[in-house]
Amino acid sequence: MTKKVSRKYQATRVEPGKEKIPVSSLVSERYPKVASIVIHLTYHQKASDPVLMIRTVNFFPSSPAIFNLVCMIKDCVDGGLNFKSIIAKMIKKHKKSGSGKIVCSREKDSHAPDHGTIFYEINIAYGRKSN
């Protein structure tokens, strides 16, 4: 016999790993003039075929202003890519794009798997009127 679970109960359940995410304001609340933020990530590995994965993450005014992304490298547990300070500096200077390299927080740990290199490009569109 299967147990019937209500939709209300399912809505209160938290996905594994999501319970660590703090309550945050929305992008529109923290950065009222921002229309969108797009982060393009390219994961490179030390191998004959260096590009491991290309990933794009979009943030809209209605998105939570949490810019700490989960690391997508296989076997990386509790790793993350923190873009909070990078995005804050870009918005403060009203920059529309920026790029560089970022290190997974787990890569600093001596027991972490070999992450290779993660390159990012951030594009910010402005245009929303502040309230």
Q: Render pLDDT for 42-88 as a digit per residue (tens, 0 to 9).
A: 988 777 778 878 999 999 999 999 998 887 777 777 778 899 999 99
Q: What is the pLDDT of residue 108?
A: 59
pTM summary value: 0.72
| Confidence grade of residue 16 (pLDDT, cut at 50, 70, 90) | very low
What is the edge-to-edge ordering of all strands in the sheet holding 34-44?
A: 51-59, 34-44, 117-126, 97-102
Mean pLDDT, residues 13-21 taken together: 47
**Under 8 Å between Cβ of 47 and 72:** no
Alpha carbons 94 and 116: distance in angstroms, whole number: 31
Mean pLDDT value across the chain: 78
Type of residue numbered 116 = G
pLDDT digits (tens, 9 = 90+) for 86-130: 999 999 999 999 999 988 877 655 545 566 778 999 999 998 565
Alpha carbons 120 and 76: distance in angstroms, whole number: 19
Sign of the torsion formed by the C-alpha atoms of 93, 127, 119 and 48: negative
Alpha carbons 24 and 11: distance in angstroms, whole number: 19
Q: Bigger pLDDT: 41 or 72?
A: 41
What is residue 30's three-state secondary structure? helix
